[in-house]
Amino acid sequence: MTFTVEIIGKERCRLGESPVWDSEARVLYWVDSVAPSIWRYDPATGEQSYIPAPQTIGSIVLGRPGELVAGLTDGAYRVRFDTGEFTPIARPEALAPNERFNDGKADRQGRFVTGTMGTHLGAGRVGKLYRFSADGAWEILSTDPIEISNSTCFSPDGATLYFADSMRHMLWAFRYNPKTDLLGDKRDFFETSGFGSAPDGATVDAEGFVWLALVQAQKLVRISPQGRLDRVVESPAPLSSCPAFGGEDLDILYVTSISDSGGRLKSDVDASGRLLAFHGLGVRGIAEARCFL
């Protein structure tokens, strides 16, 4: 299948992550975790803009119209992009001093599910998986201790949570019951060690296939709901980090990338750190749920 890749704008993020398409506003948001900021791209005008974040930022999801919900170092925040205002929703006291929030997504019921990681290399498995709901309530979902939380996304029906600890090179599939604080049966879903890469960000298309960024392999892979490799897509950015579907018909795959994570990931290639748009892949995504926190 023939597809094209558009490299958008001239701005380069240090650690681009967490793209999310707002179907109502018809714009894409994403974050730079290391030079902490939230970015917005309007494909109708080509305009890119950003607001600074007060702390390291791991991920964002859609909030109420005109708002986002962000996972900063110490918790969940409500964000007004138009004013640059960050308002705390919940800052869990269970967070360790060397722990910060990282990858996250909204579940199909509109809660914010986001995992944590150590704030420095060698911090160990201090991470946990949190779920934030209305009125600032939060709970810890039952998983093994986590080193670097990543690849969080949900099946179209919301009954499966996909999640990875990047350092273990395995994407898991959990049976997901939104009415309890427990995750159901866990199964090994897709191992990435054969590609020489940890799993990074992920999303799900309308057919229930998982799109996973293999950050160290310069590839995206599409994985069937049964965990079989369906397609490998090469990226012009050596360190592609996270995909999300967007556009009028949700048929554009937007992908963030990394230029300098401040740790082990660095690239001087022109596409590094920039937003990519894959056109003509022949699949569509689904609209992400809004979090009404």
- Taking the C-alpha atoms of residue 80 and residue 271, their distance in angstroms, rounded to an integer, is 29
Q: Which two tokens stand for residue 252?
A: 């554009």
Cα gap 266→221, rounded to integer Å: 22
| Bridge partner residues of 105 (DSSP) | 113
The string of DSSP letters for 134-198 reads GGG-EEEEEEEEESBEEEEEE-TTS-EEEEEEGGGTEEEEEEE-TTSSSEEEEEEEEE-GGGT--
CA of residue 250 relative to chain centroid, distance: 17
Listing DSSP states for 55-109 in one string gives S-EEEEEE-STTEEEEEETTEEEEEETTTTEEEEEE--TT--TTEEEEEEEE-TT
CB half-sphere exposure, 38, CA atoms < 13 A: 30
Known catalytic membership, residue 251: no
CA distance 61 to 49: 18
Q: Which residue among the candidates 32, 165, 200, 260 is catalytic per the annotation?
A: 200
Report yes or no: 257 and 241 within 8 Å, Cβ to Cβ.
Answer: yes
Tokens 């309530």 identify what position? 137
Contact yes or no for 201/191 (Cβ under 8 A): no
As to burial, measured by CB atoms within 10 angstroms (0-12 exposed, 13-18 middle, 19+ buried), residue 69 is buried
Q: Which residue numbers are catalytic? A: 200
